[in-house]
Amino acid sequence: MRIVAGKFRSLKVETVEGMNTRPTADRIKEAVFSSIGPYFYGGNMLDCYGGSGNVGFEALSRGMDHVDSFEIDKKAITCIQKNIRKLKVEKNYDLHQQDVWTGIESLQRQYDLIYLDPPYAKQKNKELIEKIAQLNLLSEDGILIVESAKEDRLDQQIGPYVCIKEKTYGITRISYYERKQYEKSNDTGKL
């Protein structure tokens, strides 16, 4: 795996050996980041299932300020820690060594980008999105992205979030969610 763009462009990141994690392919990562705006001017990201840290490191490379990531697999944790040291992002990447369901309520910030890429066999995407909504973790103009098996279809609306786009790449479906327009309105009545 490599970082596709930004300040760490072309640097290789270590991945986890074995079948417990499934890193997001470079072509999918490139397509996702290109579709949401290839570069960021700061902001926070929540990576609910860290794996090798691949997606979070890409976000930092492209300008995100901070990543919070959850991971429980010991090999994956070791891999992420190595990548953090290699990229020298210790101050920008917080690795929570626990299940997202256990640790999500302890988060203290809102996120401009939330990425869900659970093991396909253990997906509870709708329930996790509902929990994210309950905790108000997605910023007003933030985007929530779900990577799932292509045959898995999520509801068009989950809580206050509406699916604005879906794309399939081989066996993978990428679903993009944002707040409903009226949820984004401000005091001027603008929609």
DSSP the chain: -B--SSTTTT-B-----SSS--PPPHHHHHHHHHHT-S--SS-EEEESS-TTSHHHHHHHHTT-SEEEEE---HHHHHHHHHHHHHHT-TTTEEEE-S-HHHHGGG--S-EEEEEE---GGG--HHHHHHHHHHTT-EEEEEEEEEEEETT----SEETTEEEEEEEEETTEEEEEEEE-HHHH--TT---
Which range in 6-15, 25-34, 141-150 is most confidently predicted, on average pLDDT?
A: 141-150
CA distance 145 to 105: 19
CB neighbours of 5 closer than 8 A, spacing ≥ 6? 30, 33, 38, 39, 58, 61, 62
Q: Say which range, 67-76, 115-124, 159-168, 177-186, has the weakest mean pLDDT.
A: 177-186
Q: What pLDDT, on a 0 to 100 scale, did the predictor assign at position 23? A: 61
Residue 54 inside a domain? The answer is yes
Q: Is residue 116 part of a domain?
A: yes
Specify if 2 maps to a domain: no
Q: How confident is the model at residue 68 (pLDDT cuts 50, 70, 90)?
A: very high
Decide if 13 is inside a domain: no
Answer yes or no: is pLDDT of 114 > 90: yes
Mean pLDDT over residues 5-33, rounded?
77
In a domain, 15, yes or no: no
State yes or no: pLDDT of 19 exceeds 80.
no
Greater pLDDT, 184 or 158: 158
Overall domain count for the chain: 1
Q: What is the CATH number of the domain that holds 115?
A: 3.40.50.150
What is the domain range of residue 144? Answer: 26-184
**Distance (Å, whole) CA 9 – CA 68:** 21
Whole-angstrom Cα distance, residue 46 to residue 67? 6
pLDDT band at 118 (very low <50, low <70, confident <90, very high): confident
Beta-carbon neighbour count of residue 16 at 10 Å? 23
Return d(Cα 91, Cα 75) in angstroms, integer: 22
Q: Give the separation between CA 170 and CA 15, rounded to whole angstroms.
A: 21
What is the pLDDT at residue 18? 56
143 is a domain residue: yes
**Residue 26 pLDDT:** 75
For the cut 80, the answer to whether the pLDDT of residue 46 exceeds it is yes
Nearest partner of 144 among 170, 180, 119, 108, judged by Cα: 180
Computed over every residue of the chain, the mean pLDDT equals 88
Q: Between β-strands 111-116 and 138-149, what pairing exists: parallel, antiparallel or unpaired?
A: parallel
Q: How confident is the model at residue 136 (pLDDT cuts 50, 70, 90)?
A: very high
pTM of the predicted model, to two decimals? 0.89
Q: What is the pLDDT of residue 39?
A: 85
| pLDDT band, residue 180 (cuts 50/70/90) | confident
Are the C-beta atoms of 112 and 178 separated by less than 8 Å?
no
